[in-house]
Amino acid sequence: MATMKRIGVDNLLTFSSGWEWGYWLTDWSIARWSWNYMEDGTLKKSHPLSILLDLFPDPDLQQSWEEALQLQKYYLKQLGLISFLSALDPSSEFPWPFNKPFQPRPPFTYKWLLSKASDAETARVLKGPVKSLNEYARKMDLLTEKIGIQTSSFIKRTGDASPELTVIAGELTRGLKVTALRARHKALLLKTLIAMREGDNPGKILPYKAGYYLKKAEAVRLTAQELVLKQEQIYRYPTSLIARKRKSLTAYNFGYLYPASNLFFWKREEEQIKHRRFDALYMSIWDYPRIIGIDSLCR
């Protein structure tokens, strides 16, 4: 916000489409950073955790939320794990020159790891991204459990019976848990690919170790699916509108949370590995002619 002000941009119109999964924090933060806020005549300084500290003014919770922030900052941003957790953008699996990047991508593809990487390179993947993904998942799991206990204790201790506060606390910790599960899921998929190299065969039968890792990845996805279904119960808009397939005037015949409703991209990655299909058209939900506008030219 300070940078935008320096270059002469005094107003900001923000758009976000993930309110049901905590994106309202982004909107609130942008609004908060846009104004000087006075309290009892004193300028109240802003902080990345300002809203959480206002909602849950507890020293122990404050420390735990700060730990969560630092975990995300280190693993997701500094180590670049966000590129592994995100689903690939629609153009990523097309051949050059149609594979223009629109969001961060991992430094290698599944196809490369399966068939082209050397033993030394696969060892680096295990010691690098796989190790870091598992570390993040383990640390965030422990932290979210602690945050859940601390939050319940705070609400009981302060006598705050506000159901909204309980809902918000559950929503935020649930989001952290799903992200941790995704990190563990991704690590297992990478280990599956590396294990497949040891027993690749024309019949495309998964080696035992690869099958074991893939089954574990599926179990992690199903655990995350339970959290998604629980989260859907507190969506602010009807799930039929935002989280299911439906006709639309946009390029997408589904609500924006439809892929999240069944963890579609998690499942797709499992199937891609199982069937060794890494092209853009495999299990695609994208209507490419509509997305690039060709569909409208034919009407």
> What are the structural domain ranges in the chain?
1-46, 58-237
**Between 103 and 190, the higher pLDDT residue:** 190
pLDDT for position 205: 67
Q: State what percent of residues in the chain have pLDDT above 70.
A: 93
pTM here?
0.89
pLDDT for position 76: 96
| 247-262 burial: b if 16+ Cβ within 10 Å, else e | eeeeebebbebbbbbe
**204, pLDDT greater than 50:** yes
**201, pLDDT greater than 60:** no
Average pLDDT along the chain: 88
For the segment 289-299, the average pLDDT, to the nearest whole number, is 74
SS3 254: strand
Q: State what percent of residues in the chain have pLDDT above 90.
A: 56
**179, pLDDT greater than 60:** yes
User: Looking at 101-105, 183-187, 197-201, which range is the least confident one?
Assistant: 197-201
CA distance 137 to 244: 29
Single out the residue of 264, 215, 224 nearest to residue 244, CA to CA: 264
E-strand stretches of the chain: 37-39, 42-44
pLDDT for position 143: 97
- Confidence tier at 7 by pLDDT (50, 70, 90): confident
CA distance 229 to 221: 12
pLDDT for position 15: 66
Question: What are the angstrom distances between the C-alpha of 115 and each of 103, 121, 216, 274?
Answer: 25, 12, 23, 14
SS3 3: helix
Question: What are the angstrom distances between the C-alpha of 276 and each of 8, 191, 284?
Answer: 51, 15, 15
For the segment 3-14, the average pLDDT, to the nearest whole number, is 74
Q: Which residues contact 242 (CB under 8 A, 6 or more apart)?
A: 20, 235, 255, 256, 257, 258
pLDDT for position 202: 44
Single out the residue of 240, 238, 231, 196 nearest to residue 217, CA to CA: 196
The Cα angle at residue 79 between residues 61 and 30, in degrees rounded to 5: 55
pLDDT for position 278: 94
Torsion angle in degrees (nearest 10) through CA of 16, 18, 22, 25: 0
pLDDT for position 49: 84
For the segment 67-82, the average pLDDT, to the nearest whole number, is 96
First to last CA, the chain: 43
- Confidence tier at 27 by pLDDT (50, 70, 90): confident
User: Looking at 8-22, 29-43, 117-131, 248-262, which range is the least confident one?
Assistant: 8-22
**287, pLDDT greater than 50:** yes
pLDDT for position 130: 98
- Confidence tier at 157 by pLDDT (50, 70, 90): confident
Single out the residue of 284, 285, 278, 91 nearest to residue 189, CA to CA: 278
Cα-atom radius of gyration of the chain, to the nearest Å? Answer: 22
* Residue positions counted in the chain: 299
Q: What distance lies between CA 187 and its chain's CA centroid?
A: 14
CA distance 223 to 221: 5
For the segment 260-288, the average pLDDT, to the nearest whole number, is 94
